[in-house]
Amino acid sequence: MIVNYTENGWQIITQRSHGLLAAQICARWKKDKQPGRWVDTLIATAEHDDVYNELENEDLINENGGPVNFKQTEFEAKKSEALIAMAETKSAFIALLISRHIQFVHGSEPKAKPFFAKLANSEKDWLQIANTTKGEISKAYELLEFCDAFSLLICQQLIQPEQRKIQISNGPEGEPYEMFASGDKLIVAPWPFEVASFPVSYEVRLITQLSFNSSDEFKKEFQKANAMTQYLTISKS
């Protein structure tokens, strides 16, 4: 989950809500620049964090009693195996994208290396089943990663004031993109989307209690908190 501290308490955005926001961004990509397996890429973008369900996990509290932000989490083989299993039953192409994402996120963690070795063997079969190439997967994953990064910047409230620009990420083919806030709009340059502007949204929950004795106590407060929808407009100008 994505955790922001505010003067009113903890603002919580679930991993799944963040993934849905990433997919909303991905869905507007220029049609002539979309990967060949477009629907698979869009679904993988929406579901790249689906294995993390805040109501099913038991590692939601840190040593200070506060909610665990996603940056504090480490590689867990069982979660990665479950995410790959879900992806593989949809399509080999999606499995390849999710495999890339797991390696991108946890590539520097030594304990993930045995799992990566298994993925390398599986990827050979998935490439054949999907009738695709490593190059096509790389291009599709670069789009997924861009949309993931954009969504995380929004959800973490990292948009800068006074129209200061911030780099989003490199998109497909290494193209760098940046954004800045102008009123109630986010301006992106260069413009990579099909339409001149479009709305996006994501859900947040505000929890006023600051410290918890257990993950179960946090879950109860999480379930009591009403979801609120945040709206933004992404625009060319």
Specify the pLDDT at position 184: 85
Specify the pLDDT at position 174: 87
Sign of the C-alpha dihedral, residues 131, 149, 230, 58? positive
Model confidence at 235: pLDDT above 80: yes
pLDDT tens per residue across span 159-212: 998 999 999 999 988 889 999 999 889 999 999 999 999 999 999 999 999 999
Specify the pLDDT at position 136: 96
Number of domains in the chain: 1
Domain ranges, residue 58: 2-235
pLDDT tens per residue across span 86-124: 999 999 999 999 999 999 999 999 999 999 999 999 999
Of 110, 136, 109, nearest to 123 by C-alpha is 136
Q: How many other C-beta atoms can be found within 10 angstroms of the C-beta atom of residue 57? A: 17
Specify the pLDDT at position 73: 85
What does the radius of gyration of the chain's CA atoms come to, in whole angstroms?
A: 18
